[in-house]
Amino acid sequence: MTENAYDYVGIVAALNQFLRLKTTPIGMKLFETAEEMEAIPRIRRPKDTVHTTDQIVAQASRLNFTVGITAEDLVGAQCGAVIGLWPQTDEWKSGEHMAGVWFESQEDSAAHQEAMDVVPHGKYAAMAVSPLSTGRLDPPDICLIYATPAQMILFINGLQWTGYKKLEWGCVGESACADSWGRALATGEPSLSIPCFAERRYGGVLEDELLMAIPPSFLPKVIEGLGALSKNGLRYPIPQYGVQHDVRAGMAASYS
Residue by residue, DSSP assigns 121-190 as: TTS--EEEEEEGGG--SSS-SEEEEEE-HHHHHHHHHHHTSSS---------SSSGGGTTHHHHHHHSS-
- Kindly state the average pLDDT of the residues 4-8: 84
What is the predicted pLDDT for the residue at 67? 98
Q: Give which of 6, 20, 8 is closest to 155, Cα–Cα.
A: 20
pLDDT in tens, 116-135: 999 999 999 999 999 999 99
Q: Give which of 101, 63, 53 is closest to 202, Cα–Cα.
A: 53
pLDDT in tens, 11-45: 999 999 999 999 999 999 999 999 999 999 999 99
Task: Check: CB of residue 43 under 8 Å from CB of residue 66.
Answer: yes
Whole-number Å distance between alpha carbons of 146 and 29: 17
pLDDT in tens, 219-246: 999 999 999 999 999 999 999 888 888 9
pLDDT in tens, 132-167: 999 999 999 999 999 999 999 999 999 999 999 999
Asked if residue 2 has pLDDT above 80, the reply is: no
Ramachandran area for residue 230 (φ above 0: left; ψ -120 to 50: alpha; else beta)? alpha
Whole-number Å distance between alpha carbons of 151 and 253: 20
What is the predicted pLDDT for the residue at 250? 86
H-assigned helices in 20-162? 34-38, 53-61, 77-82, 90-94, 106-115, 149-159
Whole-number Å distance between alpha carbons of 125 and 97: 24
